[in-house]
Every structure is written in C-alpha cells, then in structure tokens.
Structure 1
Amino acid sequence: MSVTNQTDILLDSGTNELEIVMFMVGTGTFGINVLKVREIIQPVEITETPNRHSHMKGIIRLRKEVIPVIDLAEVLEYQAPEQTGQDKFIIGELNKMKVAFHVHSVSRIHRISWEQIEKPGELSRGHQAHTIGIVKLEQRMALLLDYEKIVMDIAPQAGIDKQALTQLPSKDRSIKSIYIAEDSPVLRKLLEDTLCEAGYTSLHIFEDGKEAWQALQSKAAEEEIIDLLITDIEMPKMDGHHLTVRIKEDPVLKHLPVVIFSSLISEDLYHKGSKVGADAQVSKPEILELVQELDKLLFE
C-alpha cells in the first residue's frame, strides 16, 4: 500500500491540515503523518542483528534497501495481542532515514486540522515522553508519537551532530534574536544547546506554531526586533507551513526570514515550503547547514 500519492493536496497553501494513518499497537490507537509514510507492507522475514537495541527487531530487505525494524510495542511497553494476521510494517522516512515500524493493525487515513491536536499534559505524556499530540476525533482519540525521538533513542547518530559546529567561522551571533517553533521536547533541547554552542544565544522557544504566531504578533505590536524564525512543520494547533503563510501575509512581519527545519524536507515536499514563502529549508538533523543558512540570512 503506497500513500505518497495522497500528499499532493496537502500543505500547498498552508491550510493547517494533515492526513494521518491510524494504526493499533496493543490496545492503543495511534497516528502517523502521511508525509512520513512511504508505504505500508505485510510483514516480511526479519534478519536479526547482534547487540541490537531492545526496541529493534532486526533488519529487512525491501527491494534494494536494507531497513531497520522498530517494534513499537516494545517502545511503548504495550502487550502484543494474540496473533490476528493483521500486523503491518509502516515504512517511514524521517531525518533522512528509512525505518519500518512494526504495528499490530492499520485502519484508515483521516484528514484533520492541526487545531484538532492537543499537546499532552505531563500525566498523559507518559514517563518516556513519547507522546507529542492527542488527536481528537469524533468517536475516539488517538496519540501522535515523537517518531524522531524513537529513532534517535535507537540510533543516536540520527540526531544533531554538535561536532560539525567546529567548522563554523567566528561571528557575533549573540546579537541576533531568533524565535523557534518546535513541538518535540528532545529536539527543542538539542536545538537550543547546539545553537547556543554556535553562538546564537538569544533564543525564544515555543512548543507549537500557534504559540509562536501569538508571540510574534505581540512583539511586532510592541515594535521589538525579531531577526528570524526557525520552525518545524509538524506541530499541534498550527503547523509550520501555515505559520509561514501567516507571517508572509502579515503587513508588519512579512519581511521576517523563515527557516523550516524539519524531518519532512524531501525533494518532493521542498516545493511546498517554497510555495508558502519559506526563505530556507533544512532537513533534520543537518545542524551545520542550518547555522550556515542562518548566517547567510542574518549577516550577508
């Protein structure tokens, strides 16, 4: 089952909508953005690898690619049901990596607004903080997981490489005021730490696009200087594409440089960020490229 052909109508005009693939792990209902999904396949033979992480079942060969398999039941500490024959592998692509998420069933695709997604509170988030959104549907709720964190826990090399920052030329980056919209707690912390290490220390960080938009409007009304915004795409309440549209249509904020920093920056989606007016787009976890783009926009 391929889902990539269903993304064309999404995000073209920053509509603040997304489509999610609904699936089950144990007794839990979860969702994953269609834009992260390359295809959904029947389980195939897994080759076990030595000394692998406990959440990783092994690897599979899909056509010419070797792909690791992550057992979401292990990640989430859910009991696997008795064999039902409905298990699926969701082949996802994020942070320039392909992974297969083993789930117990896949139901359907829902088109929803980011306004229907609430940020989880501390109690509902869970002790490992894997939940980043609660999807409110008519009949039920589903959880959006922090898939980047799940992958980074297993493969830390998929995260941000701070060593790359040693290649940067010296600049007084502390004079620039940067706003950041990022919903993943893990990536917020990584982004804050690495940007500070690069010298960008005047950071204002928000958990979703709506919070960032409200803060930008407030600061603009007070005529305070904001030099640049970094935004993720996937965020509860308001996604990064819609946030970019709002900024570029605002008579006061329209000249604010916007950099999209997301695991969803692939060749076929890059044009959608350009269409909504993003000044630069960088794929996670390329932190050196991100800082280089900031330097270009702020110092050249």
Structure 2
Amino acid sequence: MDKGILLESGTNELEILEFQVGNNYYGINVAKINEILPYQKPTPVPNAHPSIEGIFMPRDTVISIIDLAKSLNLPDSTDKTTDKYIVTNFNKLNTGFHVHGVVGIHRVSWEEILKPDSTISSEGSGLATGIIKLDGKLIIILDFEKIVSDINPETGLKVSDIDQLGKRKRNESPILIAEDSHLLSKLILECLHKAGYTNVVTTNNGQEAWNKLNEYKASGTIETNVSCVITDIEMPQMDGHRLTKLVKSDDAFKGIPVVIFSSLINDDMRRKGELLGADAQLTKPEIGELVKEIDKLVLY
C-alpha cells in the first residue's frame, strides 16, 4: 500500500481505509495496515477464542485471523467473493481482520473526526474511537487495539512491568498526558502514580494538551506545570504528531521533552517522530519502558 502520507510531518492528517462488515461501514487508519488480501478459508485453531477464525500463512509468517463480524456481533457474509483480509501491524503484532468488503481510502484531518459520546463508547467497553461523515455516510473508526486485547489481554498495557521496577521514590515533576482512550489514560495515570510520579495532568487529545500548554504560557507557569509531555498518536481533533510539531516549533516549549507512546510505532512512524523532534518513542504495551524514559528525561 502507498503510505506516502506517513513521511509528512505534523499535518494533522491521516488516511482512513473504509471497509464493510454486514451492512455497516467502518474505518481504520492506513498507518496500521500492512496489506489487503483476498479471503481464503483459514486453518481453524482448536480451543481458540470465538472471534479467532483461524490462521493463515501468506508468506513466511503465520497470521491469526479475527472475524470482525463476530467481534461486532454482526451476521456473517453469505457470499465470500468480496471478502478481504486486512492485515495489520500495531503493538508489534501482525493480525488479520476478516471484513466483507473494502470501499476505498479517504484522506481526512483529525479535526473532522468526532469523539464518540458515552452513549456509544462507554469507558472501557466501547469499540469506537471516532466517527466521521464520508460520502453521506457515518463511518465508525474502530478500536482495533481493544478488539485484540479483549481476545488476548496479554497484548494490552503491561501494568505488571511497573512492579518489576521495585520500590520508587515520590516525584513531583509535572507530567502532561494526551490520550483519547479513557481506559488507557486511567491505566497510564495509575502506573505513573505507582512509579512515583504523582503530579500528572491528563487531557483527551492533542488539542486539549496544546490548549493547556498555552494556558501555562499565558500565566508564565510553564516550568512549574509541565516538565514532560506524553502523547498518543491517533486522537480526534489533533494527533500526537501535530502536537509534537507545535511543541518543538515554539521557543517557549521546545525544551520540554515529548514522549510518543503509541501502538503505531513502526519504522516509518519512528522516522516521522524523529523528524518532528520527539525525545522518545515507545509502543504502548511497554509501560515499564515509558517510566524509564521519563526518568531519563526528567531526572537527569
């Protein structure tokens, strides 16, 4: 797939692949996709999770196939001729998702993507991360990380890593977090508190974090209110790359360390983060490594 947009810096844009499951239309960030393949009957796996349809091996890698219809409680397709596998890579995992059809790719701004309210995506249970109107249709952007972690919790945030850090001293260095997932934001906050960082402010996206930074700037309290910024990449309104670019382009903020903590850290995205001036980039399960990076950036 053509992923040229990944090499652009801080545009606050992304490409969404629109696909179909049943009569419904959904979206996934193209940055997560390795390839799209025609459906082929997978090999069943004994005693697997009900949403695991089986495995297949397109080349030298065995890939698990998740039946999105089952994950979303939708009917299976009756005619497999248009069915596809969307093969993804995030959180260092290669996973295939069985969908009923691929519509096309749309280039959009994060500003156009709306955060679902609590009636659609309640804390910890919803599978929608955003909603966008395209070609007269409402497209739901799915939380693929949650779909995978619901099947295998070990792929989620490795909270147990904090215990391995041992006893920690209390640290009041102020940390600002931009994370749109309520559940992940809560887990990151709890992990940082457990690691000794007790002065933490959370925001729901890059725009809220940027607004908060400018509040500190206006009041002349930047140094006392933020010593490190931790940001996700995928967020409605403003993504983490755009936030990083704004921070590192402003003389008042450019000395503040920015850590990108995202499921999307691959070679292309890492290069992009480096170009934008990110001080560290970590994939989301590695919460213990996140704490170690904060230690380096804040304490030394």
Above 0.5 in TM-score?
yes
1:289 aligns with 2:289: yes
Equivalence for 2:213:
216
1:198 aligns with 2:226: no
Partners of 1:84 and 1:66 lie apart in 2 by 22
1:34 aligns with 2:30: yes
Amino acid at match of 1:41: L
CA deviation profile, 1:37-69 (whole Å, cap 9, x unmatched): 000001123121222112211221221111111
Amino acid at match of 2:283: S
1:66 aligns with 2:62: yes
Equivalence for 2:238:
238
Deviates more, 1:268-277 or 1:120-129: 120-129
Q: SS state of the match for residue 118, structure 1?
A: coil
Deviates more, 1:185-194 or 1:255-264: 185-194
Partners of 2:72 and 2:40 lie apart in 1 by 22
Q: Which runs of 4+ in 1 moved over 4 A?
A: none
Return the offset for 1:171.
4.7
Partners of 2:208 and 2:135 lie apart in 1 by 25
Amino acid at match of 1:140: K
Equivalence for 2:248:
248
Equivalence for 1:121:
117
Q: Is the 1:11–1:241 contact (alpha carbons within 8 Å) kept by the matching residues of 2? A: no
- Please give the TM-score of this superposition, normalised by the length of structure 2: 0.93
1:29/1:83 CA distance change after superposition, 3 Å: same
Gaps of 5+ in 1: none
Aligned-residue identity in percent? 46
Equivalence for 2:50:
54
Q: SS state of the match for residue 261, structure 2?
A: strand
Partners of 1:171 and 1:299 lie apart in 2 by 13
Q: Is the 2:6–2:31 contact (alpha carbons within 8 Å) kept by the matching residues of 1? A: no
Partners of 2:6 and 2:61 lie apart in 1 by 28
Equivalence for 1:181:
178
Return the offset for 1:169.
6.0
Deviates more, 1:6-15 or 1:212-221: 6-15
Partners of 1:78 and 1:159 lie apart in 2 by 25
CA deviation profile, 1:137-160 (whole Å, cap 9, x unmatched): 242220111111111111111112
Q: SS state of the match for residue 124, structure 1?
A: coil
Q: SS state of the match for residue 8, structure 2?
A: coil
Equivalence for 2:106:
110
Q: SS state of the match for residue 74, structure 2?
A: coil
Amino acid at match of 1:256: I
Q: SS state of the match for residue 22, structure 1?
A: strand
Partner of residue 95 from structure 2, selected from 85, 99, 114: 99
Q: Is the 1:10–1:17 contact (alpha carbons within 8 Å) kept by the matching residues of 2? A: no
Partners of 1:174 and 1:185 lie apart in 2 by 24
1:229 aligns with 2:226: no
Aligned residues: 296
Amino acid at match of 1:168: L
Q: Is the 2:6–2:269 contact (alpha carbons within 8 Å) kept by the matching residues of 1? A: no
Q: SS state of the match for residue 237, structure 1?
A: coil
Partners of 1:94 and 1:256 lie apart in 2 by 27
Q: Is the 1:18–1:111 contact (alpha carbons within 8 Å) kept by the matching residues of 2? A: yes
Partners of 1:292 and 1:236 lie apart in 2 by 28
Equivalence for 1:131:
128
Gaps of 5+ in 2: none
Partners of 2:46 and 2:168 lie apart in 1 by 45
1:143 aligns with 2:140: yes
Equivalence for 1:267:
267
1:126/1:22 CA distance change after superposition, 3 Å: farther
Q: SS state of the match for residue 13, structure 1?
A: coil
Equivalence for 1:20:
16
CA deviation profile, 1:92-148 (whole Å, cap 9, x unmatched): 111100110111000111011101100011123379300010012242220111111
Q: Is the 2:228–2:257 contact (alpha carbons within 8 Å) kept by the matching residues of 1? A: yes
